[in-house]
Amino acid sequence: MAEEKTPLKWKFKTEDYVSSPILNEGILYFGSDDSFLYALDIKTGKEKWKVEVGSYNSVKSPISSQSTVYFGASDYFLYALDSDTGKEKWKFETGGNINSSPFHSNGILYFGSEDCHLYALDSKTGKEKWKFEAEGYIDRSSPAIANGILYFGCSNNDFLYALDSETGKEKWKFETKDCISSSSPIVVEGVIYFGSADCYLYALDSETGEEKWKFEAEGNIETSPLISDGIIYFGSQDNHIYAVNINIANELAPIKKEEELRNKELEIQMIDEADKNGIIEENIKTQYISGEITLERAIELQSQHNKEEKLKLKWKEEAKNNIIRVNCEQTADLDTMLLLRGCLVLVLDPDNGWAYGNHIKSQGGGTFAEHHIIMKYTLDDDGSPNWGIAVGPWFGHNCSQDELVETASGLDGFDKIKAEVMFDVVYEVWSRFVEYGSDENSDYESAYLCQKNVIPDTNDDEVWYAEDNFDQDDNMSTIDIESVSESVPGNMVFIS
């Protein structure tokens, strides 16, 4: 039987992801997240050597020059190894991960680190020649050099930098609208090209940093561009690869710049018009400037917004006087503290019979967790007050505020906007009263506590909680509002 043909020549297994490989004189070099740099025979795939750089480190894509392989790793070091034997020649420590490949030019190694520095080292000795502190960390974008100028981008700021490659002095920097995390710049015929997370591919004058043109994709551009026969190719996170004609882009650039200038002037006029008419709410202002709504509509929406904000302020002030605090108990060893065992804050909306709060619920094993709660006040047939659970199958249902509000919004009499205001008060009160853990006693290091001296109108010996509000399953089904209020001076008495 004839042997089945296959295009696979060989494959080599590592213990984790591998980096991009490089080839030099018949040897394939690559790094892996298994902490090794590998050297394989390109013809057979047989291992010639491998070098481990610590444990649990990620080894990045190497470069090779003459008899040395250079690479960075997540242990903060840049390494130089003998390309034939793997023997270490030197290593240089930075203050952060080195995620990109270094660039070698005229005996100097240039590379960036997550410690926010771009380094220049003597490639033979590993001695630092200079370093430049950027305004953000340098991730997977490798530097480029042309005509004595070094170019690189940063991952958590929006600049492309141009430095003097001999001294490290800044020549200029160009601001985009988002970070340059992975797109390594290239320089061709006096123009530098690179992509940004703001979805644009940029073409700048390499000497001055002046923008020549830019092309907008529909997603972040984190790939490095490639130029061939007047066409620039690059990929985007919109799942497309683009081919852009550079000559046509150059022809259209003056027209687009003139259009951008007109649009900028119009935007300035609209901002001025919005300010004159008191349109200050950011979302409304943005809709007007973008042309989504007219000036008249923006004025109308701003007026509605002002009324809502005034009403919210009124609600907030009222809610601060309508707070019920229940279920705390004295701590055995902390005289000044109370231990939270249930709902600490209930902000009442007496107009509509709703209450909102944060609840400390037992998780079992002696641990407690914080949950949101919305409840509805009703009267039983005999006229006694009753708090029904508005959202969730049990009190303290593990659900976010947004989920609770969304669920309750379908119930009669529920005001979503007012609920959000009430929760603002809940958090304000919560942060004033609640502490998590105690520095004084390790028995309470994972407990929710409250300082007694911050509780209004409460003396040391007074009870600050209501008893018998929980059934055997720890479900808070009913609360006698008047008994709670009367036991704590300063609390409101709910009147239907």
Q: How many residues does the chain have?
A: 496
Q: In this model, does residue 285 exceed pLDDT 90?
A: yes
Q: In this model, does residue 377 exceed pLDDT 70?
A: no
Q: Are 211 and 239 in contact (CB under 8 A)?
A: no
Helix/strand/coil for 107:
coil
What is the C-alpha to C-alpha distance for residues 259 and 265, in angstroms, rounded to an integer?
Answer: 10
324 pairs with which residues across the strands? 346
Nearest CA to 24 out of 84, 64, 57 is that of: 64
Q: Whole-model pTM?
A: 0.62
* Mean local confidence (pLDDT), 223-236: 94
Q: What is the pLDDT of residues 142-191, one digit of tens each?
A: 999 999 999 999 988 899 999 999 999 999 999 999 999 889 999 999 99
Q: In this model, does residue 343 exceed pLDDT 80?
A: no
Q: In this model, does residue 486 exceed pLDDT 50?
A: no
What is the C-alpha to C-alpha distance for residues 368 and 380, in angstroms, rounded to an integer?
Answer: 31
Q: Could you tell me what percent of the chain has a pLDDT over 70?
A: 78
What is the C-alpha to C-alpha distance for residues 133 and 126, in angstroms, rounded to an integer?
Answer: 19
Residue 437: predicted pLDDT? 82
- Residue that wins the pLDDT comparison between 90 and 447: 90
How far from each other are the two terminal CA atoms of the chain, in whole angstroms?
93
* Mean local confidence (pLDDT), 16-41: 95
User: Both tokens of residue 385?
Assistant: 């007050």
* Mean local confidence (pLDDT), 218-239: 94
Residue 344: predicted pLDDT? 56
- Residue that wins the pLDDT comparison between 90 and 485: 90
Give residue 1's pLDDT band: very low, low, confident or very high (50, 70, 90): low
Place of tokens 């003597």: 122
What is the C-alpha to C-alpha distance for residues 272 and 347, in angstroms, rounded to an integer?
Answer: 41
Kindly report the average pLDDT of the chain as a whole number.
82
Worst-scoring range by mean pLDDT, 6-10, 21-25, 226-230? 6-10
Q: In this model, does residue 487 exceed pLDDT 70?
A: no
Give residue 330's pLDDT band: very low, low, confident or very high (50, 70, 90): low
- Residue that wins the pLDDT comparison between 5 and 397: 5
Nearest CA to 12 out of 42, 56, 33 is that of: 42
Q: What is the pLDDT of residues 410-454, one digit of tens each?
A: 777 788 888 888 888 878 777 777 788 887 778 888 788 877 666
Domains (range + CATH), the chain:
64-252 (2.130.10.10), 282-319 (no CATH), 321-487 (no CATH)
* Mean local confidence (pLDDT), 482-489: 40
Q: How far lies 279's CA from each of 265, 302, 417, in Å?
A: 19, 6, 21
Give residue 117's pLDDT band: very low, low, confident or very high (50, 70, 90): very high
Residue 253 main-chain phi, psi, to 5 deg: -55, -50
Q: Are 357 and 346 in contact (CB under 8 A)?
A: yes
* Mean local confidence (pLDDT), 77-101: 96
Give residue 394's pLDDT band: very low, low, confident or very high (50, 70, 90): very low
